Chain A
Amino acid sequence: DGGITQSPKYLFRKEGQNVTLSCEQNLNHDAMYWYRQDPGQGLRLIYYSQIVNDFQKGDIAEGYSVSREKKESFPLTVTSAQKNPTAFYLCASSIRAGMGLDTQYFGPGTRLTVL
């Protein structure tokens, strides 16, 4: 069964903690993305990766970090430097590396809440 998985579904973070959100895909897609969604706002791009061992900052990368050591995996770390991390985080992937041209498919999301 091909798809994108994200874990955990819900995550609670204390002030000053770093947390890592998992994203795995078995679609053999080259490109992977992380978005943040806040109520009433569109999706905002945090980071994207077009190929293993390479990634680029999106519009709101400050306070976040990523790695792409395997084609299937693109974890996102929310660091303590991110001042307002409470949001719904969505991972997506697309077949090719052309960011805006191919359909992006989304995982189920992780809802992060800061306590």
Chain B
Amino acid sequence: QKEVEQNSGPLSVPEGAIASLNCTYSDRVSQSFFWYRQYSGKSPELIMSIYSNGDKEDGRFTAQLNKASQYVSLLIRDSQPSDSATYLCAVGNNDMRFGAGTRLTVKP
């Protein structure tokens, strides 16, 4: 069983729509959760971190964490073509584990 699982996609949404990206993890005692965006050929850049159950909003991005269900998600509102990238979920406790990423395409 993979430690951090993401749907590989591609996930395609029209411009202006909400994109929903999901991530599940196996280590029940994980304490920190991160979403990174990675453009093709580039390195990951941090979008958001979340540590407590519930929602955390930052501009067009909302991270949602449910530790009981071992689930973390990222919502992107008003999606733009510039949001087209691969989104990596990372889960931390004693170490950091990364999912393989979900490729998002936002069509104009």
Chain A residues within 8 Å of B, Cβ to Cβ: 35, 40-43, 45, 90, 99-109
Contacts and interface: CB of A to CB of B under 8 A. Distances in A.
A107 to B, nearest CB: 6
Contacts, number: 52
B62 interface: no
Q: Is the interface of A mostly helix, strand, loop or mixed?
A: loop
Contact of A106 (B30, B44, B91, B95): B44
Interface stretch (B10-18, B52-60, B65-73, B96-104): B96-104
B32 A90 contact: no
A59 to B, nearest CB: 9
Nearest to B48: A103
Given A99-B96, A100-B31, A101-B32, A42 B88 contact: yes
